[in-house]
Amino acid sequence: MEDSSKVIHAIYTDDDVLMAAVKKVKAERYHIEEIYTPFPVHGLDKAMGLAPTRIAIASFLYGCVGLTVAIVMMNFIMIKDWPQNIGGKPSFSYIENMPAFVPIMFELTVFFAAHLMVITFYLRSKMWPFKKAENPDVRTTDDHFLMEIAAAHNVDEQFDILRNTGAVEITLIDKAH
């Protein structure tokens, strides 16, 4: 495509209209670059055909890491390094004194799973403090929905389709500036 830097912004004011528009645009086989909404629209990811998230799998693995850290740490400190008799608790082997370690094992599992998952989310969504906001239209954080489509040769035809889906505003944007 010669005009690959050109995109069309179609603005909607209702999430139901937006959903119908997404289905129409998908049916016309135009590529949706991005959709900006002020709140999560249930089912939008399915309509757009986005791949399901794998963050839960990542979180499970982080939890396993946390559990391992807890076990290795306490096995070294309490059993290997200085197996002191503290109030008669058996410190001969890890398993003998394990019930006392379970609260820490649990908490570290949750801690690792939660925090590393959040950090993963930030990295994958490219979010951090002082990041420049990527917002094509300020109204999309309040009450407007914006669909961004790559402009093809037949821009006029694309405009017609989008107008028929109920868009209130359609503009051709040149991103390469």
Q: List residues binding other proteins (CB under 8 A).
A: 56, 60, 85, 88, 90, 92-93, 96, 99-100, 102
Write down the least CB distance from residue 23 to other proteins, Å. 18
Residue closer to other proteins (CB basis): 95 or 173 = 95
Element containing residue 171 per DSSP (H, E): strand 169-174
Residue closer to other proteins (CB basis): 59 or 158 = 59
CA distance 152 to 129: 36
Kindly state the tokens that stand for 66: 């946390």
Write down the least CB distance from residue 41 to other proteins, Å. 16
Q: Quick one: which of 42, 3, 6, 12 has its CA closest to 162?
A: 12
Residue closer to other proteins (CB basis): 99 or 129 = 99
Residue closer to other proteins (CB basis): 38 or 83 = 83
Write down the least CB distance from residue 88 to other proteins, Å. 7
Kindly state the tokens that stand for 61: 């693995």
Write down the least CB distance from residue 44 to other proteins, Å. 15
Contacting residues for 11 by C-beta, under 8 A, at least 6 apart: 137, 139, 144, 145, 146, 147, 167, 168, 169, 170
Kindly state the tokens that stand for 155: 């821009």
Write down the least CB distance from residue 52 to other proteins, Å. 10
CA distance 169 to 19: 16
Residue closer to other proteins (CB basis): 96 or 107 = 96
